[in-house]
Each structure stands twice: as structure tokens, then as C-alpha cells.
Chains A and B, each alone.
Chain A
Amino acid sequence: MMVELGHFALIMAFATALIQTVIPMWGAIARDPGLAGMARYSAFVTFALVLIAYLALTFAYIGSDFSVANVAMNSHSTKPLMYKISGVWSNHEGSMLLWVMILVLFAALVALRGGGMPERLLASVLSVQGAIAGAFLLFILLTSNPFARLADVPLEGQGLNPILEDPGLAIHPPMLYLGYVGFSVAFSFAVGALVHGRIDAVWARFVRPWTLLAWIFLTLGIAMGSYWAYYELGWGGWWFWDPVENASLMPWLMGTALLHSTVVMEKRDALKVWTILLSILTFSLSLLGTFLVRSGVITSVHSFASDPARGVFILGILTLFIGGGLSLFAWRAPSLKQGGLFAPVSREGALVVNNLFLATSAVAVLVGTLYPLVLETLNGSKISVGAPYFNLTTVPLFVCLLMLVPFGQSLAWKRGDLMGVSQRLLAAFGIALLAMMATFAITRGGPVAAPLGLGLGVWLIAGSATDMITRCYRRGLSVSAVFERALGLPRSAWGTALAHAGMGITVIGISATAWGVESLAVVGKHQPLSVGPYTVSLEQAFKRKGEGFREDVAQFSVMEGADARGLIETSKRVHTGREMPTTEAGIVTYGLGQLYASVNEILPDGRVSIRFYWKPLVTLIWGGALIMALGGAMSLADRRVRIALSAKAKRPSAVKAEAKA
């Protein structure tokens, strides 16, 4: 009964999403506050209905109700409770339901926080959100219904793919979806503004927290997915330029650009049309990501054709929203009031440069991801565009961008003083250079790119620090006064500095991969194997049984010189139910680096074929991402109305240009 109630609630949600689409938009166009007022309540109702449906499905999973086809195919009565709950989104149908639930959650939050928004803008935003939700609800109901029932109820379910039976899975998809779907709010705001015909700093003020929220979650989701692939797949790599990964990276790049252009708009009332376009493009890339992952088009264009219902449906949704959004943009954007002009050497000018670099790298990734698919469709040839292409295109773009970041961050609004900024950054540049030279000296003969990358990372961190110091420190101020000024700085300034420093930390972590050491060997008991600064030797190899699996474990002791540094364990696991072996990597963190062990095979004679990596500073990759997200959160916590501060020495010409705008 719960199941059927959930099914009905999901269908009802489709109906209310239609109401949410049509009536508020009508109200907004006809300037009727009564109809527009329905936007908020219909958003609440739709969210409540989808929540009921979602809880009903979760309930079926927890109770192992195998009369629900989705549960029978993806769960097992003996699974631990946590994986029963996360099992809901471990499959296509359930994850689409989660996707829609997050979508309507965002709409409900916009409605909840929208009290201070102009009524018409709120109505059109929620209307667009309703349209997206309606389209995806129809997709779920017609092609991927998680509530389909089985007439012949099987005794036992088929279980979960053991790779997915992992805490990483429990958190990674919801994070990623919060990011993807969060950008739908920016999209809805953009379409709302286009319908509305007005776009200004107020608009930017309301859209900024949503973009920021989506960006934080996407950053965490990507970092999480990367770490999960790193420890679960047992290859020791943390990024594979896999289409699924690219699908999440593209909206991140575009979303980062959007985040920065929104700031320009809020503070300076400029870059309006570009910001609108970025909002549409960012969500388009999120949708494209969903399409790539969910339609089966990635495995092969042909597998997409063999089950066309789903793929074609998502393609239709894609065309409707991307095509519709861009057409609306082409039609209405020329009528939008243009924003102000500004000097090229200024904070806003620097942010335009940032936008160009980020958008270009997003396009580069897009081309690399779609090119093989297009080629396969055209002439059936299968090629794969791998890491070399992506490294060749995105790395130079990113290096240029990141070298410029400290300048942009320190430039004043309206009219920057490049000379002054350069002088202030001289110390930061010196530190970075010094770090680079020192690293070169220490690792003489090692890879060249690594010290350069390290220098770049230090440059970003030192640049951020410089910015904060120049804001707080004045000659002659006492320590406590400086401290007070630091606390008084807007939280968004701290957020910016943290996020940029976090990027620098990630860059250092990535550069350090070049110093990684790999040792592949077949070793017998107590036979030492050296991995970077450590020596490992096989202590024992044995069999073990765990909950729902059995495994062959190889246990190594780790020595650094003469000091024992503990044990490291890696195993080959076979899960009962699905006879599918997985490799459980053994990872031990020493300082900022990690020792990574991955067993290939335990031979009958007791020897072990093993792969060891020493990855110095590798944790910085994800640590940096966490700090970036933290910076985003700081910035999000800044609820102040933003103002643009110009440089103190302001010239009359700049004022005139401003007045003209």
C-alpha cells in the first residue's frame, strides 16, 4: 500500500508540476499577483509529493519488498541497512528519482527563501523549475518507473553490484546531483529574467547563493568521486578523463565562470547578457552530463540505439531546455538593457579573462568528450580521446588562468592599478620562485614539470595571502587592530582567498604525482620491496570471511629505514550473490602522502603478485578541493548586500565612463 501510495504521489507530482509551470508563468506575464502567488505553494506541494514517493521507495528497499521490480533487481534481503538505503539511488530508476527530488527540493527552497524577491521574478523562476521537474517526472513515469511491480514475486533479490557497496556510493551521487541540479536554479533565473525582460544587480544578488551552493556541492561531489575511483578501482589513478568524469567537470568549469561573472553583475551591474548565457550553458552542460551518463550513449552509440526509449526521451528534454533556453536568449537578449562598460585593467576586466579561460577549457573538454560519439555515429569507427588530448588542451589553459588569478584577486574594481598590484605581489612571486628553485635543487634529475607546478600552487596560495594581508595591514597598526580588521573583512573576501588557496593546494597535489613511485613485483614472505622512501615486506597471505564476501588478504609491514611504520593490507574480494571479484586497495597515509597497495594475485605457492605506489602529497588533491568548498561556504555565509569598491586613487575619466553607462 505504501508502494502504491508512493507511485500515486509521483504521478500526482507530475500533475502539480504542470500547474507550477503554467499558472505562475501566466500570472507573471499578466502581472497578476494572485496567480503568481500560486508558484510558491505549488512548489511546496510538488516537493512534498516527490518526497512521499521517494520515502515509499526507500521503505520498499528497507523492507526488501521484492514485489517492486526495482528492489528485486537491485537489492538483497541480507544487505546491510546502509546499502539498502543507498541502494535506492544505485540504479537508473532510483537515481533519476533522486535527481528529481533534489530538483524539486531546490524549487521549494527558492520558494521558501523567495519572500524578499520581486513576485514576478519568483513566479517565472519557479515556473521554469516546474517545467524541468515535469519533464523529468514524465520521463521517469514513462520509461524508468521505479514503482513497476512484479506479478511473480521472486524469493530473493539480485543484489547490488559489489563495487557500489561502499560508503563512497552512499554520498557521491547525492553530492553530484545537488551540484548538477543546483545549476537549474541559475537556469530558471536566467529564463525568468529573459521572460521578465529585466536583469540587474538585484537578479544577480538572488541568483548568487544558488550558484554558489551548487558549485560547492559539485566541487565536493567531483572530489569525492575522484577519491572513490582512486581507492575502489585499484588502479591508483585519481582522474581518468573518462566521459562520466568529464560530464561532471564541464558544468564545474562553466559554473565556476558563472560564479565569477555573477559577482561582476552584482557589484557593477555589468556583464549581464554574458551571465545569462553562462547560466543557460552551465545547466545545459549539467543536462548533457545526465544524458551522457543515463542514456547509455557512452558505452556505445549503438547500445543507445538498441534501447532508444530512454535515450530519445532525455535527448528530447535536452533539446527542449537547451534549445528553448538558447532560442529565448537569442530572441530576448538584444532587448535587455546592457550593463556598464569598464576599464580592461580592473577586477571586472580580470574576471572577464577568467571567464574566457574557463569557458574555453569547458569547450575543450566538451569537444574531447563528444567527438568520439559523433564520429561513431557518422562512420561507425570507434576511437577514444584519451588523457593526452585533454592534458594538451586544458593544462596550458589552466596554467595561464592560474598564473593570472592573484592579479585578478588583488586588482581593485572599476579601475585597477596594475603596477601597484604587481609590486604588492612581488613578495608572493618571490616565495613561489624560491619554492620552485628549492624543489628543483632537492629533486635534481627528477621530473621538470613537478617543481613548476609546485611553484604555481605556491604562487596561488601566497597571492591569496598577500591579498588578505594588504586588506588588513596598515603601517603602524597594532596587532590587535590588524586582527580586528581581519575579522571585519567581508566573509566573501575570506571565501575568495580560501578557494583560490585551495586551488593552489590541489595544484601542488597534482604536480606531486610526477614524483610518484610504482613498484610491481611478485614477492615471497619477508622479501623486502622498496617503494619510494619505504620498504615493504610480505608478512602473511591468508583467507578471511566478512559480511557478504570472502577475501584473500595480503598483509605487508612497512619500514622507513629502520623504523617500523605499521601494516598495510590489500585483498581480492569475492562477493557472494554476484561472483564478481573486486580488488580492495590498501591505503596508508604518511604525512600528506599515501602508500597504496593493490594485490593482483595470491599465487598457490604463497607468493603474492603485488603493485605498490608511493604517492607523495597526493592527499592535497582532495584536501585542496575541500578547502575550495569551504571557501565557497564562507562566501555563501556572507549575506551582505555587495558593493564595489574602487581603488582609492580614482581618476575622473573612470567616473565619466561610469556615468555614461
Chain B
Amino acid sequence: MIWLLIASLTGFVILGLLWPLAQTVDDSRSVDDGDFYRGQLQEIERDQARGLLDAQSAEDAKTEAARRLLAAAKISEAQADRASMALRRKIASLVALIGVPVLALSLYAKLGSPTMPDQPFAQRVVPADENADLTIMVAKVEARLSEHPDDGLGWGTIAPVYLSLGRYDDAIKAFGNALHLIGETADLRSGLGEAKMAAADGVVTADALSDFEKAYANDPKNERAQYYRAMAAEQDGDKAKALTLYRALLETLPPDSEPGQLVATRIAALSGEQAKPVFDPNAGQSAMIRQMVERLDARLSTDGSDLEGWLKLMRAYQVLGDGPKASDVFSRAKLAKANDSDALAKLSAAAKELGIAN
């Protein structure tokens, strides 16, 4: 169908281009400059008749126009001879007949998508599965929320989506709004903590920890709260506490579930039973954490003044089971803080505590 349309359009175009060549040339039609000045003479006479011109100026104007008319007549334009005209016409017809479609089609073959149908909005079949386009969904919820900013459920729905999209600040805001509007729930509270942790490059800050503690107090069975409380202890270097907390969590989890395995690997890592990397790099969550750590790393590479950051980064790599990287960070931190003996002392203490080789 599309090719039929393209073919007929091409046909009409060529017809239109070649049409004048099929006409016999009518020499009498073409207008020369003489006509212009003859028109000017008539105009002068008309104006004079209407009384807009007096005789003297009309005479002057006529003289000038007549003089120009004579000058124009002198320039006669030679016509081309008939034989070469016929040849030129043949060439022009061939160019139009072959050149235009070939150029247009080859360019269209490169640029066009002839097999793609029109898809006007009204005729679009919305795909059944819901993960079609997350950003559009988010935009819709946002539009709704901007009109109904007091819709707590809406905030609660969009907050985890923000978190998974990496829009941490928006997630913190959304969880906060939901908590404010719906009231205290362990899920929202631990979500807020997680968002804060994510915003802090994967470190369970004191602020985040207080959220996890609140969620835990509200619902001791909340897995997220339990898990991050344990991780906070681990990041603080409190192995024993971390292990206890992880073990308590593990008991409530089915052993072959994903969270169950995750917790089990943490326990294994902490108790030193296995030296393999704690996180499976392919697991979604660890990938996220990995990303955060790398971001922090990149930030510190450009600006090494943040001592807290260096400590966090060292700890993070050690926790991830990447010993060489951790000791590398340690030496980079020492370089960055070479003039600050206080910071150096802190760094060394932390390295010793984490068991980072110097």
C-alpha cells in the first residue's frame, strides 16, 4: 500500500516536471521590457486625464519613458537554435525521469521506515503488562500528586519507585510525605531509612539508623529494619552484634528465599567461614550498593577533602570483600590527607580495625 502511494506520487511528480517540455514554446507570450515602458506611458496619460498631472510634468515624464522604451528596444535577445533545443530537452527529460526517482528512492531507502505503520494515539493498543513504561507511569502519578498533594497513598506508592529509579532525594521527600499523611508504619519508616542510606552512598548513617530503629520498634518482624540494623552494626565494625542480628533475621526467613540466602552469605562472610566475595555481584541489591560505592569513590578522587567519605569508602570496600581495593583507598586517603596528622591517625586506626593491610 505504502509503495503504491509512493509510486503514484512519483508518477505525478514526473508528469508535473515534464509537462512544460511537452508544450510547444509560445514566443509571443513572453513579455519584454518594452511592454513595461509602454505601460508607463499609458499610466502617465491616465493620470493626466484624471487631473493628477499637469501638462508640463506629464510631458517630462513621457519623454523619459519614451527614451527608455527606445533603449529597451535596442537590446534584442537572440533565441537559441532549434536543433540544440531538442537535444537539451531530451537531456532534461531524462534527468527528471530517471534522476528524480532514483535520488528520492535511494535517499528514502536510507532514511525512511516504510514498514512502520502510523500509530495515532486513539488506535494504540496499550500493552497488557504493566512495566511498559515506568517513566510515563511516574509522570502520571506526579501529575496526580501535584493536584492532590494530600494523597498519602500516592506518595507511598511512588516512593519505592523513586528509590529504584535512583531518585533518592525525591524518594526521601515522598516517604516523608507518606509518613506524615498516613501515619507511622514500619514499611514506610524503613523505606525512608533505606532512601537516606542510598542517598548517603550506601552508608547506614545515624539518621538512617534511627529510622530503622523506629521501624523495628514499631514492628520487630520488619525484615528490612532488621537487615539494615545488622548492616549498621557491621559497618560500625561491631562483628559480634552484626552476627547476632543477622542470625536472628535468618531464623525467620525461608532458607532458600533470596533474602534468606543474602543474609546467609553475610553471616558466612562475617564469621570468616568463607573468603569469597560477600555479595553476588549479579544480585540486584549488591549491584546497587556497588554503584553507590563507585560513585563515592569517583567523588573522592576529584575532591579528597572529605575524611568521613574516605573512612566510609575504606569500610565499604572491605565489607564488599575487596581487600586490595580497600588498602588502595587507604593509601590514597593518606596521600590526600598527608598534611593533616589528626586525619592520618584516624585513618590508620580505622584501617587497623578493619584489618586493612598497609
Contacts and interface: CB of A to CB of B under 8 A. Distances in A.
Interface in B9-53: 9-10, 13, 16-17, 19-21, 23, 25, 27, 29-33, 35-37, 39-40, 42-44, 47, 50-53
Contacts of B60: 646, 650, 655
B25 A34 contact: yes
Nearest to B102: A15
A19 B118 contact: no
B147 A269 contact: no
Interface in B62-121: 64-65, 68, 72, 75, 77-80, 84-85, 88-89, 92, 95-96, 99-101, 103-104, 107-108, 111-114, 116-121
B143 interface: yes
Given A154-B136, A648-B57, A202 B52 contact: no
Contact of B107 (A14, A44, A45, A489): A14
B43 A640 contact: yes
Interface residues of B, number: 83
B34 to A, nearest CB: 10
B112 A15 contact: no
B21 to A, nearest CB: 6
Contacts of A119: 30
A611 B55 CA distance: 65
Nearest to B20: A37
B118 A8 contact: no
A539 to B, nearest CB: 25
Nearest to A116: B31
Interface in A139-161: 141, 145, 147, 149, 153-156
B23 A641 contact: no
A19 B99 contact: yes
Judged by DSSP, the binding face of B is helix
Given A16-B17, A145-B111, A155-B126, A66 B95 contact: no
A41 B16 contact: yes
A264 to B, nearest CB: 14
Interface string A1-24: 111110111011011101100110
Given A118-B32, A644-B64, A32 B88 contact: yes
Greatest chain A CB density within 10 A among B72, B111, B140 is at: B111
B5 interface: yes
B128 interface: no
B9 A12 contact: yes
B139 interface: yes
B275 interface: no
B107 A141 contact: yes
A22 B91 CA distance: 12
Nearest to B50: A488
A579 interface: yes
A161 to B, nearest CB: 16
A66 B16 contact: no
Given A65-B121, A149-B116, A643-B40, A12 B100 contact: yes
Contact of B20 (A41, A198, A550, A641): A41
A351 interface: no
A64 interface: yes
A40 B36 contact: no
A67 B20 contact: no
Contact of B25 (A33, A156, A650): A33
Contact of B5 (A1, A19, A45): A1
A60 interface: yes
Contacts of B139: 156, 577
B108 A202 contact: no
Interface residues of A, number: 82
A253 to B, nearest CB: 30
Contacts of B100: 12, 15-16, 19
B104 A11 contact: yes
Contacts of B2: 1, 4-5
B308 interface: no
B99 A65 contact: no
Greatest chain B CB density within 10 A among A48, A120, A202 is at: A202
Interface string B127-145: 0000011001001101100
B146 interface: yes
Contacts of A65: 118-121
A30 interface: yes
A33 B42 CA distance: 29
A49 interface: yes
Given A8-B9, A12-B9, A646 B57 contact: yes
B61 interface: yes
A658 interface: yes
Contacts of A67: 116, 118-119
Interface of B: 1-2, 5-6, 9-10, 13, 16-17, 19-21, 23, 25, 27, 29-33, 35-37, 39-40, 42-44, 47, 50-54, 56-57, 60-61, 64-65, 68, 72, 75, 77-80, 84-85, 88-89, 92, 95-96, 99-101, 103-104, 107-108, 111-114, 116-122, 124, 126, 132-133, 136, 139-140, 142-143, 146-147
Interface of A: 1-5, 7-9, 11-12, 14-16, 18-19, 22-23, 26-27, 30-35, 37-38, 40-42, 44-45, 48-49, 52, 60, 63-67, 77, 115-120, 141, 145, 147, 149, 153-156, 198, 200-202, 205, 269, 485, 488-489, 545, 550, 574, 576-577, 579, 640-646, 648, 650, 655, 658
13 contacts: A7-B112, A12-B13, A16-B13, A32-B80, A32-B88, A34-B25, A141-B107, A485-B51, A579-B146, A641-B36, A643-B40, A643-B61, A644-B61
Given A641-B39, A643-B40, A643-B65, 15 more contacts: A1-B5, A8-B9, A34-B89, A35-B92, A41-B20, A42-B16, A60-B118, A64-B121, A115-B29, A154-B136, A156-B140, A202-B36, A488-B51, A643-B44, A650-B57
